[in-house]
Amino acid sequence: MLWDYAATQARSLTGDSFGGLGRDYLALTLRAPIGPVAIITPWNFPFLIISQKLPFALAAGCSAVVKPSELTSVTTLLLGPILKDAGLPDGVVNILAGTGRVVGEALLAHPRTRMISFTGSTTVGKHAMRVGADCLKKVSLELGGKNAHIIMADAELDAALDAALHGAFLNAGQSCNQGGRLLVQSTIAATFTKRFVEAAKRIRVGDTLRDDVLMGPIINETQYRKIIGYIEAGKAEGANLKLGGTWREEDGGRFIDPTVFTEVEPSMKIAQEEIFGPVCTIQTFENLDDAFELANGTEYGLSAGIWTRDTSSAIRAARSLETGTVWINTYLDGPAELPFGGVGASGIGREVGRVGCEEFTDVKTVQLRSSGYEPRWIGKAL
């Protein structure tokens, strides 16, 4: 879907015309390809994320050098022969496998790349932006998230429950859009929390090639230890471990069970920092203003969701939540037409959709005078 939609943008990028500037004067703007793009993608959802970038860069007329994560390079490397078979000229897309410290750094700083498109951690994104500033390159960053998922008392609770579980534990929580902060209205908090915990207990963890398994392993030992560290920090700071907090290594994988904390204070590490694992915190609120204060109370601003039957509450959420995406009565939808990106520590720029294609362009102004030029300097003095 992403590739099909991006293909339509190759003939749909438009500028503006200015026909009222004078009798013999016409001006217009064109969107020109920004030039070779350095695209660096992360280890989670490797084929999806390259598909949110590369086809839109190509539709804009750019060439690209792509570096997938060294942990999940295969799907991106397989893309190369597919593009060649599709007729893409040699040299338009170049895929380089390697580490960030070597290949990634070379791409960021190379004088021939005119733009950096990076998805990954906020820490590395800040570094990419510093390199881009030093080289005066355009930088587009899709970074971390600490996304709030708000459940109002008037919500359709069965649907909200399913979406909350999906948002919290999809891909073992290894997602920038993870809905890992559940904010539940106080009048339904006890009931909804009980239902959420009971449902999370039934999530099978293991080899996801099995039909009865929903949650798979953690990517590597570094991330595994990081998540365990957050679980221990949550307990040490006084949060109530309501479910899980257990982990194991077996069958060649590292697994952490769905973990839920309640009685979580906004200042706690587990409420403020991106965990990138199957750890969900539940906080309660009294009214919408309280919910928005909690939701906006981190440095991140990637996405947020709210479940409510009240139109006024939905509109207020759309305007008040300080994120790049607001989901209302749904979560994790992502049509190819809609731009995606964050604010604050979640990044700058947008991917996907018409706006995502425009990210890979510069605006060129063209001014045309058919006649009537009047001398204004040397000719005026002659």
Residues annotated as catalytic are 142, 176
Gap between the Cα atoms of 276 and 228, Å rounded:
11
Q: Which tokens hold the place of 74?
A: 């295969």
- 259 φ/ψ angles, rounded to the nearest 5 degrees: -125, 130
172: left (phi over 0), alpha (psi -120 to 50) or beta: left
| Chain position carrying tokens 């009971």 | 198
Gap between the Cα atoms of 321 and 113, Å rounded:
35
For residues 247 and 279, the answer to whether their CB atoms sit within 8 Å is: no
- 42 φ/ψ angles, rounded to the nearest 5 degrees: -90, 180
262 in helix, strand or coil? Answer: strand
User: Across the strands, what pairs with 150?
Assistant: 183, 306
User: Across the strands, what pairs with 149?
Assistant: 182, 305
What DSSP state is assigned to residue 89? Answer: P
Gap between the Cα atoms of 141 and 53, Å rounded:
11
User: Which residue type occupies 39?
Assistant: I
HEC letters along 129-142: HHHHHHHCCEEEEE
- 327 φ/ψ angles, rounded to the nearest 5 degrees: -100, 130
Residue 362 CB partners (closer than 8 Å, separation 6+): 31, 32, 33, 34
Which class for 238: exposed (0-12), middle (13-18), buried (19 or more C-beta within 10 A)? exposed
